Amino acid sequence: MCGIVGYIGHREAYPIIINGLKRLEYRGYDSAGLVLSTEQGFQLAKTRGKVVDLEEKSSDLDKTPNIGIGHTRWATHGVPNDVNSHPHLSNNGRLVLVHNGIIENYESIKKLLTDKGYVFHSDTDTEVLVNFIQLFQEEQNLSLAEAVRVALNEVIGAYAIAVLDNQDPETVVVGRLGSPLAIGIGDNEFFVASDASPFIEFTKDAVYLEDGDMATIRLGEKVDVRTIQNNEPVSLDIQELQLNIEAIEKGGFEHFMLKEIYEQPRSIRDTMRGRLLVDEGIIKMAGIWDHQEKFLNAKRIIIVACGTSYHAGLVAEYMIEDFARIPVEVEYASEFRYRNPIIKKSDVVIAISQSGETADTLAALKLAKEKGAFIFGINNVVGSSIARITDAGAYTHAGPEIGVASTKAFTAQLTILALIALKLGKHNGQLSAAQFNLLTNELERIPDLVQQILENCEGVVDKIAEKYKDNSNAIYLGRGYNYPSALEGALKLKEISYIHAEGYPAAEMKHGPIALLDENMPVIVIATKKGYYEKVVSNIQEIKSRSAKVIAIVNEGDEQVSAMADDVIVIPETAEEFSPILTAIPLQLLSYWIAVKLDKNVDQPRNLAKSVTVE
């Protein structure tokens, strides 16, 4: 989490940094800061709050300098306040640094520095790091790059950093381990950022720094990339960015989340494009095809993920076991990595992650790789850390997801997982040609059905949201394929409207949660026709007998549940296996509208950040 931006070139750095930070705010938004480098020294502004607050705080700065770095923070060490905000200055005022990540051994380094007379103003690990660099620079008379390199070799943790030195004002030094960092290369100008969005309108050429690498960026020179460990030169791998500016703007929608919900017919179609070839009766996925031995001989598939991506993994368990009859286990990445799991060489481990940077998922994958398993990544962000360490993978092609609550990434993940499950089932003979045909034809219809749902929900879901927005709790129920949908619906509600919500398998109600039911407890029930419909009807009867309100998601033509429920949202019917893609849409919209009506910050919910690069 945290976003960093830097510029060195011939333009004014200030607007590039401010606009860049706004684009990176999804990574953290509890404080922001920037520093501009001038002949006379550093001009620094930082504040608790958002980038708009930083703009206000910067009103007196001279905006003409051409070099600067900035930061938007998601607090790890120290509460969000002005002092803990980045950038942080070294004691001698010579160095200034922004940091995304965590320095785990900062306490011992701080002690060493304190013993040498250094003083600290903030509670951050970052202020420790910048002073640690000062220590090497002074004691060993090192250049900025050398001092950074030596200091980083002593550091344990994760970081992406950018550092300026006022005695070498035309240089920016950056480095990374575990947190992403991209360098944009323009015409005698350079950009630095946590992802490429801050510089997309200036250049299409970017270098994604590899873990363990650092770079010295100097005007008029080629970017000098080296390994942090040994100072060995690394050749520049310049990639052409595929990102376009429209993809990272709101495009007329009030919030990114709403835009991303409405983008789903397109993002699902893009995820299928070139892969689902219904007329030819095939699913083309090089990442699977090139390693089919691994998949088809796998004794077990283990899926590791966090949050919404974990919920996609739960649906995948049902699909892969149904279509391909390969046993699947789904684990929270954070639990998996710390519980001494049994991982065999015959296992395939799939990591699902929108950002491709989630620290726990990345660590779980590294563990699986060490134990010899074949590791496969499903990511949305091209070139992300997970995409780079996996043996093979598949991108979701949902396009940049900026709203902190994941929406289109989830349905794109479900789509790609459906393709994988179908492909495995076809190739290991568990699915007949007729079943495969039927299912692929159905999957191809999904983008149109999603479009239909979006149209049908207009003017319906916002009214339901108005009715229930003041309840402090909610329960989500689903069975089978839609049990993970219930979990996802509850997560969406909690994270953006701060209403306590829990998802359960509908049949589990009577084993405890039913005690919570009374007239103040809305229960959102997924009651699609093919999903154990009769059983769900009985569950709804049990809920109604406890006077709780029922909001039901039903299929077109439904009569029984519709007659019992207080409110209904109607969606078209599809194969049960793909129904979580459809049920996700009204659940996303319900959370969205409740949050809007409660006047919450939909795109930047409190305490959250989009890319969780800390454990």
Binding region for ligand F6R (CB under 6 A): 306-309, 353-355, 358, 361, 405-406, 491, 495, 612
- Asked if 392 and 266 count as a contact pair (C-beta separation under 8 A), the reply is no
Please list the residues that pair with 358 across neighbouring strands: none
User: How many CB atoms are closer than 10 A to CB 234?
Assistant: 16
Please list the residues that pair with 29 across neighbouring strands: none
Tell me the closest approach of the beta carbon of residue 9 to ligand F6R, in angstroms: 31
Q: Does 610 qualify as catalytic in the annotation?
A: yes
Q: Which of 2, 46, 57, 426 is catalytic?
A: 2
Q: Which is nearer to ligand F6R, 91 or 354 (CB)?
A: 354
d(C-alpha 275, C-alpha 268), whole Å: 12
Residue 539 CA: distances (Å) to CA of 81, 392, 550, 555: 49, 43, 11, 17
Tell me the closest approach of the beta carbon of residue 584 to ligand F6R, in angstroms: 11
H helices within 357-432, ranges in order?
359-370, 385-389, 408-427
- Asked if 72 and 51 count as a contact pair (C-beta separation under 8 A), the reply is yes
Residue 122 CA: distances (Å) to CA of 80, 110, 220, 515: 11, 12, 36, 47
Q: Which is nearer to ligand F6R, 152 or 491 (CB)?
A: 491
Q: Which of 57, 204, 549, 610 is catalytic?
A: 610
Q: Which is nearer to ligand F6R, 358 or 539 (CB)?
A: 358
Q: 179: which residues sit within 8 A by CB, 6+ positions away?
A: 2, 100, 101, 158, 159, 160, 194, 357, 613
Q: Does 2 qualify as catalytic in the annotation?
A: yes
Tell me the closest approach of the beta carbon of residue 363 to ligand F6R, in angstroms: 12
Q: Which is nearer to ligand F6R, 120 or 332 (CB)?
A: 332
User: Helix, strand or coil for residue 31?
Assistant: strand
Tell me the closest approach of the beta carbon of residue 193 to ligand F6R, in angstroms: 18
Q: Computed from CA positions of residues 191, 196, 198, 204, in that sequence, does the dihedral angle turn out positive or negative?
A: positive
Q: Which is nearer to ligand F6R, 84 or 361 (CB)?
A: 361
H helices within 400-482, ranges in order?
408-427, 433-457, 461-468
Tell me the closest approach of the beta carbon of residue 307 to ligand F6R, in angstroms: 2
d(C-alpha 560, C-alpha 567), whole Å: 13
Residue number of the CB closest to ligand F6R reads: 307
d(C-alpha 372, C-alpha 491), whole Å: 34
Q: What is the DSSP letter of 532?
A: T
d(C-alpha 465, C-alpha 493), whole Å: 11
Tell me the closest approach of the beta carbon of residue 492 to ligand F6R, in angstroms: 6
Tell me the closest approach of the beta carbon of residue 422 to ligand F6R, in angstroms: 23
Q: Which is nearer to ligand F6R, 4 or 496 (CB)?
A: 496
- Angle in degrees, CA 191, 193, 195, rounded to 5: 125
Q: Which is nearer to ligand F6R, 90 or 358 (CB)?
A: 358
- Enumerate the active-site residues: 2, 610
